[in-house]
Chain A
Amino acid sequence: MTDVAQSSSGAYALPRRRSKLEKLIQNVSFWRGVTAVIVFLCVWEVGSRMDEWLGEAWTVPFVGLIPPPTDVAVAWLEVLPKAGYWNSWYESFRRVLSGFLVAMALGIPFGLLLAVNKYFRDLFFPPFEILRPIPPLAWVPASLIFWPTNEMSIAFVTFLGAFFTIVINVLGGARSIDVRYLRAAQSMGASQWHLFSRIVLPATLPSIFTGAAVGMGITWEVVLAAEMISGGGTQGGGGLGFFIWNSYMGGSLTQIVVGMISIGIAGFLSSSAIRALGDWFMPWKRMF
């Protein structure tokens, strides 16, 4: 709820409409967040420069071994104009998105079918439940053997990572629909198709988006790990995972940190996109 200012006449003045930017600037939480990030950077800077300023004996454990943020920023500015760095972004995003989208495209209908059709569930749920606990990375060796190229193996493992999570969320969401909604719709004469498309699907949307958010996180993990494992040969190379691996091999600690922060930003962008999509698809959840 927005504050309602009471004017001197005693009547309530309507709150003025504020732009999104205005709201952000006036938001206390936003400034707390900004402060926290600045404090974090300062502590890191001071911590890692202690030994420089006061001598070896003052080396702060752990933080003292990490390059300070200013060095990282310099290294970052160096790679920013390079095509290779942006190509890493592109490669990783391409892999994450393709794996994720295929997982959504197959996982949502599969989960819904499991939820609404008993025969389908009896048949496919047991094998699904046996395969689900296998962590995506445990699939890597097998898929390297199955698939002709490294790139395809990465794509497959990425897909698996998101697929299981999405299916289990969709299934759970669709199974826990309040029976009152189904009864009300049926009393009003809804056909099976209507029941599915107008009741089951919208009622499951929140779970679909929860699954998508978690699945997106898993795809990033899998893609980066796969990029490091594949080691950037001619096939299946590149990506932010390889960027970090390459920096490690080259002994550049600052670049490793640049890569890590880049991944953090990429993940943040991905989950923001999913949240925005969720808001757009579920206007009834937007009021809070």
Chain B
Amino acid sequence: MNVSAPFSEAGTPHKKPEQALKGAISIRNVTKIYDPEGVNVMAVDNASMEIAGGEVCMIVGPSGCGKTTLLNAIAGFHSITSGEIRLDGELLCGPGKPKAKQGADRMVVFQHGALFPWKTLAENVAYGPIVQGALSKSLAMEKARHMLADAGLGDVGNKYPGEVSSGMARRAEIVRALINDPKVLLLDEPYRAMDALTKSIMHESLLETYDRTKVTIFFITHDLEEAIFLGDKVHIVTTRPCQLKKTVNVDIPRPRSYAVQSSEQFRVLMEEVNEAVHEEAIKAFEAGERELA
């Protein structure tokens, strides 16, 4: 973090696309078995995935297939049973180190939002630099206000999360993650329960943020249009246990505008993703029927 000039470019140095971007994740043969009361639940089975630095990687797959489990393993919220995960070549977790250490290089934006309700939006954003001792309290607050203003949240910095709309809260949460200058943003269905209009604003805001920071994004979603519109790659994973089924490359040039959603290219990609997802959904449904029977 650049302490001497905390306000330049909202604290996120502009990265040139041609240089090798940081934040490459490689997931190799990762397996995760939960063991509640001795009943083994295999959530992830021998899954491998390579995510290049600065890539927007979208994960879609049936409900309950183990996507959140994978994200939690990268974030260091729980251990993996076997395999390894590396960030920029460095081992996060693997043999002899089942659980990754949590760190500000991998910031999570949670499925239901996790802004601290007892802090204002600006205080929430300033929290990371303050606890890391990277900035003094007043400098951190000033930087937080700048970054919120850049995200169009300038006039709600003094409000508590409960006082603003869910869209604003979610945008503020992404700002809270970005102030730590992470290598990777991990998003777990951040825009679930949002109406189409709010969602489209969220998408534009996230794309704008991405174009500015080129941070690696690992994004779990159920919304296929969202996956194609935002992503460089869409990874479709199988029903539980989670494995990579198919990767669809999205070569729509950036910056993207909403108009591409009605293009022929988009429609073809949509069909391709839809087919793979539908196959897995049917399998998941049948597996569910079997379990119930």
Q: Could you list which residues of chain A lie within 8 angstroms of chain B, going by C-beta atoms?
A: 178, 180-181, 183-191, 194, 198-199, 202-203, 205, 282-284, 287
Contacts and interface: CB of A to CB of B under 8 A. Distances in A.
Nearest to A179: B77
B160 A194 contact: no
A254 B106 CA distance: 71
Interface stretch (B89-97, B125-133, B229-237, B267-275): B125-133
Interface residues of B, number: 25
A18 to B, nearest CB: 20
B151 to A, nearest CB: 18
Contacts of A185: 116, 127, 131
Q: Which of A181, A189, A205 has the most chain B CB atoms inside 10 A of its CB?
A: A189
Contact of B102 (A180, A186, A191, A202): A186
A131 B112 CA distance: 39
B127 A183 contact: no
A194 B131 CA distance: 7
Contacts of A181: 114, 116
B72 to A, nearest CB: 9
Contacts of A283: 160
Nearest to B110: A180
Interface in B103-122: 103-104, 106-108, 110, 112, 114, 116-119
Nearest to B180: A188
A190 B161 CA distance: 20
Q: Which of A180, A184, A191 has the most chain B CB atoms inside 10 A of its CB?
A: A184
A245 B56 CA distance: 77
B77 to A, nearest CB: 6
B102 A183 contact: yes
Contacts of A284: 117-119, 160-162
Chain A interface secondary structure, helix, strand, loop or mixed? Answer: helix
A199 B114 contact: no
Contacts of A187: 75-76, 102-104, 106-108
Interface in B43-72: none
Nearest to B160: A284
Given A183-B77, A284-B117, A189 B163 contact: no
19 contacts: A178-B114, A183-B108, A184-B110, A185-B116, A185-B127, A185-B131, A187-B108, A188-B107, A188-B180, A189-B103, A189-B128, A189-B132, A202-B118, A203-B118, A282-B118, A283-B160, A284-B117, A284-B119, A284-B162
Interface string B31-51: 000000000000000000000
Nearest to A201: B118
Given A183-B77, A186-B102, A188-B128, 12 more contacts: A180-B110, A181-B114, A181-B116, A183-B75, A184-B108, A187-B102, A188-B104, A188-B180, A189-B128, A202-B116, A284-B117, A284-B161
Nearest to B77: A183
Nearest to A202: B118
Contacts of B107: 187-188
Contacts of A184: 108, 110, 114, 116
Contact of B131 (A191, A202, A282): A191
B114 A188 contact: no
A185 B116 CA distance: 9
B122 to A, nearest CB: 13
A187 B132 CA distance: 10
Contacts of A287: 160, 162-163
B13 to A, nearest CB: 20
A195 to B, nearest CB: 9
A14 to B, nearest CB: 15
Given A189-B131, A194-B131, A284-B160, A183 B104 contact: no
A194 B116 CA distance: 14
B192 to A, nearest CB: 14
